[in-house]
Amino acid sequence: MVILGRTLFRDDRRPVGLANEDRRRHLYLVGKTGMGKTTLLQNMLVSDMQSGRELCLIDPHGDLADSITALVPSHRTNDVILFDAGNRDQIVGFNPLACHDASRIDQVTSAAVSAMKKLYDSWGPRLEDTLRNAVYAIVERGGNLLSVMQLLGEKPYREQLVPLIRDPIVRSFWMYEFASWSDNYRTEAVAAIQNKLRPFVVNSTIRAIVTHPNPAIDFRRIMDDGKVLIVNLSKGRLGEDNSTLLGALLVTSIQQAAMTRADIPESERRDFYLYVDEFQNFTTGSFASILSEARKFRLSLIVAHQYLSQLDEETSDAVFGNVGSIVGFQVGSDDAQRLAEQIGKYPGQITPENLTGLPKYTACVRLLIDGMRSKPFSLQTLPPLMEIDTQRVTIVRGVMARRSGQGSTSDQTSGILRFGPQIGRPIPNRIRDWQDSGLLAEDVKSCELYAGPLLLVAAKHFVSRKRRETERTNHA
C-alpha cells in the first residue's frame, strides 16, 4: 500500500492509502500548476523506493527527476538507472527500434510510427506507408533511427539491405513499388519523411543515445529485477520535439516489455509502477491499449497533467474509461463540470464549485477500494516525506557511471562517424554471416565494429587497412 494523504472531514484525519491490487487499475491526477500534484508524486515515489518496489519515472521538466534522484534511499542506490537525456557527459543508450522477439516486430514498428506521427500535423497516407515499411525493415534487421535515414537516402545501403528483408510484403514494397517511382516522385516522398526524422538525429546528444552500440536500458530486466529507472527529459535542454518523441518512444517500449511478460505466470509477475508527469506529451494511439491491457501484466500507471483540453478525445475517453482512481486538485471552470461527473458516484454529489475552490494540497478523490469505487471525499496531501540531499545526486551519478562505464557524447559520435551505421548486434554473434563473406572470425573479433552483414564492404576495407598498418609497423 502507498499513502496518499489524510482525510479532510471535520476532526477526522485518518491516513488514506491505495492498495497494490487497486493500483493496478491506475491512478490519474489532474489540477492546476502549483496545487500539489508534484508533492504527491514525490511522496509516492519515495514510498515505493523505500519499500523496494520497481518503478520508472518519466519527467519532461527535469525538476521532479532531480528531486527523486536526491531522495534515493541508500539501500536502493545500486538499483537506480539514471537516464538523463540532456547530460552530454554520461550517455545511456536507448534504441527504440530494438526488438528481441521476432513475433513483436509489428508492435514495435507500429509504436514507433505512432510516436513520430504525434509530433506532426502534416501527415499523409503515402508518408505513413513509406515510413512504416522503412521502420519495419530496420526493426527486423536490428538497426536504429539513423539506419532508417540511410535506408531512405542512400541507394547502395538500400540495395544491400532489401534482399535481406525476411517479410515478403515489406521486401516487395522496396524491390518493386519503391523502385518503380520516378526520381522526382521518390525524392518528394523521401524528403517528407527525412525532414521529420532529421531534427531528431541531427541533435548530437539524441543521436548518441539512439545509436549507442550498447543500449543500457533493458526494460524487461528493469521490471523483473527490481530496478528504479529515473528518466529526465528536460525540454529546456533537449527541445520540446526531441523530449516528446523520446518520451513517447520510451512509454511504448515499456509497454512492449510488459507484454513480453506473457511468458511467465501472472502470479509471478512483479508489480511495476510507471509514473508519467505531464503525460499528455507522450500519449500515442497505443495509449488506450496500455490503460486497458497493462493491468494483466502488472504494469500500473500513475499519470498527471494540468487540464483536460491537453488530451485528445481518444486519450480522454481511454483515461476515464479505464482509470480506477482519480485525484482532482483545483481545476478551471471548464474542466470542473466533467471532472465532477467522473468523481461523483451519482449526479450532483460533487459540484463544479467544489473543484474550482479547492485550496493548495487539497483534492477531491475517488479511489478504488477492494476493486469497487468509493464515495468521493476530500484529501489533504502530506508534506514531503524526506528532505532533499544534494550529495545523494553525486553519489547516484557516480555509482551509475562506474557501473556502466558510459562515454561522453563526443566519444559516441566519433564512434558513429568512424564506423558508419550501427546495425544489429555485436559481431561475435554473427560470425557465420561474416565468414560467408570471406572474412575470418579472427579478423571479425579484432574489429571493434557493431554491424550486420550489410556493412561487409566497409568491414573489408577496415580489416585491410588494419592489416596494412600492422605490416608497416612490423616492417619498421
Assign residue 63 the CATH number of its domain: 3.40.50.300
Which of 186-190, 292-296, 369-373, 393-397 has the weakest average pLDDT?
292-296
Q: What does the mean pLDDT of the chain come to? A: 82
Same domain? For 123 and 256 the reply is no
Tell me, what's the pLDDT at 211?
82
Tell me, what's the pLDDT at 443?
41
Same domain? For 303 and 438 the reply is no
Provide the edge-to-edge strand list for the sheet that holds 272-277. 15-18, 2-7, 377-381, 362-366, 325-328, 27-30, 299-305, 272-277, 54-59, 228-232, 80-84
This prediction's pTM:
0.80
Given a contact cutoff of 8 angstroms between Cβ atoms, the answer to whether 216 and 406 are in contact is yes
Tell me which of 189, 205, 221 is where a domain ends: 205
Same domain? For 381 and 452 the reply is no
Q: Which three cell numbers stand for residue 1?
A: 500500500
Tell me, what's the pLDDT at 242?
87
Full domain range(s) for residue 445: 425-475
**Cα torsion for 150, 189, 283, 229, to the nearest 10°?**
0
Domain count for the chain, please give it.
Answer: 3
Residue of 17 and 120 predicted with greater confidence? 17
Paired with 84 in beta bridges are 232
Mean pLDDT score, 455-468: 53
Highest mean pLDDT among 181-190, 281-290, 449-458: 181-190
Q: Is 107 contained in some domain?
A: yes
How does residue 252 score in pLDDT terms, banded at 50, 70 and 90? confident
Mean pLDDT score, 255-270: 87
DSSP class of residue 90 equals S
Same domain? For 83 and 186 the reply is no
Crossing angle between the packed helical segments 63-70 and 390-404, to the nearest 10 degrees: 90
Alpha-helical segments (H) within 142-202 = 145-153, 155-161, 168-172, 178-180, 183-202
Q: Is 18 contained in some domain?
A: yes
Mean pLDDT score, 67-84: 92
> Rounded to an integer, what distance in angstroms lies between the CA atom of residue 382 and that of residue 203?
41
Same domain? For 438 and 457 the reply is yes
Tell me which of 145, 176, 205 is where a domain ends: 205
How does residue 380 score in pLDDT terms, banded at 50, 70 and 90? very high
How does residue 435 score in pLDDT terms, banded at 50, 70 and 90? very low
How does residue 139 score in pLDDT terms, banded at 50, 70 and 90? very high
Tell me which of 180, 205, 230 is where a domain ends: 205
Same domain? For 153 and 11 the reply is no
Same domain? For 150 and 254 the reply is no
Highest mean pLDDT among 178-192, 387-401, 443-457: 178-192
Residue at 342: amino acid letter = Q
Q: 3-state DSSP call for residue 233?
A: coil
Same domain? For 244 and 288 the reply is yes
How many C-beta atoms surround the C-beta of residue 465 within 10 A? 10
Is a pLDDT exceeding 50 seen at residue 162? yes
Strands 15-18 and 299-305: unpaired
Paired with 362 in beta bridges are 380
Is a pLDDT exceeding 90 seen at residue 365? yes
Q: What is the largest CA-CA distance in the chain?
A: 92
**Cα torsion for 282, 285, 291, 295, to the nearest 10°?**
-100
Q: Is 237 contained in some domain?
A: yes
DSSP class of residue 375 equals P
How does residue 11 score in pLDDT terms, banded at 50, 70 and 90? confident
Of 61, 97, 85, 87, whose CA–CA distance to 197 is shortest? 97
How does residue 70 score in pLDDT terms, banded at 50, 70 and 90? very high
Mean pLDDT score, 425-443: 39
How does residue 347 score in pLDDT terms, banded at 50, 70 and 90? confident
Is a pLDDT exceeding 60 seen at residue 130? yes
Residue of 59 and 427 predicted with greater confidence? 59
Of 214, 254, 227, whose CA–CA distance to 404 is shortest? 214
Q: Is 441 contained in some domain?
A: yes
Question: Rg of the chain's alpha carbons, rounded to an integer?
Answer: 25
Q: Is 438 contained in some domain?
A: yes
> Rounded to an integer, what distance in angstroms lies between the CA atom of residue 41 and that of residue 53?
15
> Rounded to an integer, what distance in angstroms lies between the CA atom of residue 153 and that of residue 194?
8
Is a pLDDT exceeding 90 seen at residue 173? yes
Q: Is 412 contained in some domain?
A: no
Is a pLDDT exceeding 70 seen at residue 476? no
Mean pLDDT score, 80-109: 87
Mean pLDDT score, 328-355: 89
Same domain? For 328 and 235 the reply is yes
How does residue 165 score in pLDDT terms, banded at 50, 70 and 90? very high
Is a pLDDT exceeding 60 seen at residue 434? no
Mean pLDDT score, 17-35: 93
Is a pLDDT exceeding 90 seen at residue 39? yes
Tell me, what's the pLDDT at 13?
82
Same domain? For 126 and 241 the reply is no
Half-sphere exposure of 17 (CA within 13 A, CB side): 9
Give me the residue label for grid cell 577496415.
462
Tell me, what's the pLDDT at 440?
42
Same domain? For 454 and 316 the reply is no
Tell me, what's the pLDDT at 47?
94
Q: Is 409 contained in some domain?
A: no
How many C-beta atoms surround the C-beta of residue 369 within 10 A? 15
Is a pLDDT exceeding 70 seen at residue 405? no
Same domain? For 372 and 234 the reply is yes
Q: Is 331 contained in some domain?
A: yes
> Rounded to an integer, what distance in angstroms lies between the CA atom of residue 393 and that of residue 66?
8
Given a contact cutoff of 8 angstroms between Cβ atoms, the answer to whether 116 and 197 are in contact is yes
Is a pLDDT exceeding 50 seen at residue 387? yes
% residues pLDDT > 90 (the chain): 45
For 144-155, the pLDDT digits (tens) are: 889 999 999 999
